[in-house]
Amino acid sequence: MAGALKTAARKLAQDPRGAGKALRGIHDPELQGAVYRLHVGGPGGHRLFYYVPPSRGSAQVGLVVPIFLSSERRKDFNYDDVDVNALGADIVSDYRAGRFDAFGILEPEVVPECAL
Amino acid sequence: MGSAQVCLVPVGTYRRLWLLYLLERFRDACFGKVRLQKVAYFSEERMGQRPFAFQKAPYGPYSEGLEETLEQLLSMGLVKAEPLGKDGNKYRVVRAGDGESPYGRWLESVDPPAKIAIDQAVAQYGYLPQERLIETGHSAAGFEEAAPFDEILSASSSETVEVSLDTDECDELVLSLSPAFDAVRRQLEETDWAAHVDRIAPIDRL
């Protein structure tokens, strides 16, 4: 899956909102249009749910927060295994605790072309 | 759109969906928990795939599971309770945006008879005066013979439920009704992501 992840990373670095599809069923108005799904490895691939923090005034935050990446491909997905709480909450707590080495600024040109 | 298939979703998701659809069928709101419990019971009585077990209680059939699911929906902000003075609360579904609610379509994809049973029970029992509703509850099948707090209607035992939706829509269903995701979304919203972006180092290579 490494190559597919690099492709996904490149897409997300280039255009986080355009890379995936916004989840429509999100109830909270604050999150509508902020949580996306991208299939890593093509339409039948692994689900990646991610959050793009909304802009504050004119400032773009410029972060992509992955919430969940499924280990199974799309058709084999088991919803019982979705532990969005574990992964999403870990990332939030790392950020809040100042563990910034767990994050990185990724420019699209850093991703090797061979991964595409 | 994704490919149509059968997804297996946790029974907890089905319970939340079932109750949301039931509450949504009331014209204004569901007035009181006694009414909610009775209408839910009479809906389930007509169904094969039952999300909640009911027991004999003083005001008629009562389900602890339904009570817990209602509390979950309230804490997730999917249902709102508005006080009715001494008569408890009325309960209404909080609509997400202006679009058509997906709950009916999703429920139909699990169990079409459930949708019909709920529609009929809300129409038949949902607006009865409270005393009449309680009397009707006391005349439910097996109620009189049962001992207090005995189970009078059992729930289906399966831990998962089959849903005939395409995979994208299954994602929407499970995530939008997931308490775990709800907890994450609160943390995502409450975090000031802009505050420390300048302290994140660039990645040299991937």
Predicted confidence (pLDDT) per residue in B11-35, tens digit: 999 999 999 999 999 999 999 999 9
Q: What are the C-alpha distances in Å from B80 to residues A39, A86, A94, B136?
A: 34, 28, 33, 27
Q: Which residues are CB-contacts of B98 (< 8 A; sequence separation ≥ 6)?
A: none
Cα gap A107→A10, rounded to integer Å: 8
Strands B89-93 and B79-83: antiparallel
Are B118 and B22 in contact, with CB atoms under 8 Å apart?
yes
CA distance A114 to B89: 61
Question: Of B61, B59, B39, which Cα lies nearest the Cα of B125?
Answer: B39
Query: In sequence order, what E strands does B3-120 have?
Result: 4-10, 30-31, 54-57, 60-62, 79-83, 89-93
**Which residue of chain B is at minimal alpha-carbon distance from A66?**
B188
* Closest chain B residue to A57, measured at CA: B194
Position B1 scores a pLDDT of 46
How far off is chain B from A36, nearest CA to CA, in Å?
11
DSSP run (H or E) holding B168: helix B167-176
Mark yes or no for CB contact A77/B3 under 8 Å. no
d(CA A112, CA A25): 35
pLDDT of A115 over the 70 cut: no
Report pLDDT for B46.
Answer: 87
Q: Report the percentage of chain B scoring pLDDT > 70.
A: 96
Contacts of A49 in chain B (CB under 8 A): 171, 175
Query: What b/e readout covers A61-82, taking b as 16+ CB neighbours within 10 angstroms?
Result: bebbbebbbbeebbeebebeeb
In angstroms, the separation between the Cα of residue B19 and the nearest Cα of chain A is 16
Query: Quick check: B200 pLDDT over 60?
Result: yes
- Please, which pLDDT band fits residue B50 given cuts at 50, 70 and 90? very high
From chain A, the residues in CB contact with B200 under 8 A are 100, 103-105
Is ipTM strictly over 0.85?
no
Amino acid at B98: D
Among B77, B174, B180, the residue with its CB nearest the CB of A27 is B77
CA of B41: how far to CAs of A69, B46, B110, B136, in Å? 39, 9, 19, 11
Name the residue among B13, B175, B46 with its Cα closest to residue A32: B175
Beta carbons of B201 and A104 less than 8 Å apart: yes
Give CA–CA dist B169/A48, Å, rounded: 15
Residue of chain B whose alpha carbon sits nearest to that of A79: B9
At B24 the pLDDT is: 96
pLDDT band for position B124 (50/70/90)? very high
pLDDT at B114 (0 to 100): 93
Cβ–Cβ pairs < 8 A, chains A and B: 142
Shortest distance between the Cα of B137 and any Cα of chain A, in A, equals 34
What are B74's two structure tokens? Answer: 């309230």
**pLDDT band at A95, cuts 50/70/90?**
confident
pLDDT at B123: 97
Contact B196 A30 (CB under 8 A): no
Q: How high is the pLDDT of residue A116? A: 35
More confident residue, A27 or B5: B5
For A85, the closest of B180, B193, B203 (CB atoms) is B180
More confident residue, B36 or A91: B36
Average pLDDT of chain B is: 90
Identify the pLDDT of residue A107: 74
Residues 6+ apart with CB under 8 A from B141: B45, B152
Across the interface, which of B96, B181, B206 has its CB nearest the CB of A106? B206
Burial B164-186 (b: 16+ CB within 10 A, else e): ebebbbbbbbbbbbbebbbbbbb
Band of residue B167 on the pLDDT scale cut at 50, 70, 90? confident
Of A26, A80, A115, the CB nearest to B160: A80
| Dist CA B71 CA B104 (whole Å) | 21
Identify the pLDDT of residue B126. Answer: 97
Q: pTM here? A: 0.85
